[in-house]
Amino acid sequence: MNYRHAFHAGNHTEVFKHAALCLVLEHLLQKPQAFAVLDTHAGLGVYDLTSEEAQKTREYEQGAGRLLGRGLPEAGAYADLLRAMNPGGLKAYPGSPEIIRRMLRAQDRLMACELHPKDAETLKARYRRETQVFVHHRDGYEAIGALTPPPERRGLVFIDPPFEQKDEAARLSRALAAGLRKWPGGIFLAWYPIKDAVIGESLSQAVADGDFPKTLRAEFLAYPQDGLSLAGGGVIVCNAPWKLDERLAALCEALAGLLGDGGARWAIDPLTPA
């Protein structure tokens, strides 16, 4: 599938994915030592929900729109950030680099990679005055090997590819394995879309067959799987922080009530021995 963020910004799986990202960042913020984040597929940074692309699908209405209207304490910093960006109603949606940037402290750093030339230029222009944000026009998978481990030694690699290529799941699996060899202590959070079970099972099997540290999988589906439409999404978290599974469970349960219209389901499973 081709997951183009401009059309899907703020939808149900974006809410789940970005709330999960915030939970991991909140963990890193618990210690005073600096951390670095590598965002491998950064996109545009901020998405205009009044744009032609967003208005064509209006998926944000059933995702971020509901959260903004009713709130969600289980989403923590994500819900607060969304409200801060939209005091007069939902018009802008923060992509992962904007979420990360807003959560950085003075000592922390973001490396944002984007391969699409026009999107990379947009991203560079957006953050040109941000001294803690470094935008790279390069392949995000290649950047994992080139930019890790960071001098800070603490941090996160966030992998959120568009799944434009048929072999994307295999590339993602290889990137996780190679990245963990390069940076064994880093947290790796990878997202994947769910239309059917193929991508999730492929990634999970790769983890089970490999030499991975503590890794968990969380999936949230707002709608039934039919193999055609986007039912939901999943995240795989390697070197998962302590009690992240409990926080993700609380998040998913709350999202099911907010976004699922009675048909949502979710699951959180360890992919490696405890």
Catalytic positions, please?
160
Beta bridge partners of 136: 113
* Alpha-carbon separation of residue 237 from 125, 182, 191 (angstroms): 31, 16, 9
Rounded distance, CA 197 to CA 122, Å? 34
Separation of first and last alpha carbons in the chain: 33
Give the tokens for residue 180.
């963990």
Structure tokens at 194: 């769910």
Contact assessment for residue 172 and residue 161, using Cβ atoms and an 8 Å cutoff: yes
Distance between CA atoms of residues 269 and 95, nearest Å: 26
Residue showing tokens 């947290």:
187
CA 66 to chain centre: 19
Q: Give the span between the Cα atoms of 32 and 43, in whole angstroms.
A: 29
Q: Where would I find the H helices in the chain? A: 5-8, 12-28, 52-57, 64-70, 77-85, 96-103, 117-126, 140-147, 168-182, 198-209, 244-259
Neighbouring CB atoms inside 10 A of 7's CB total 17
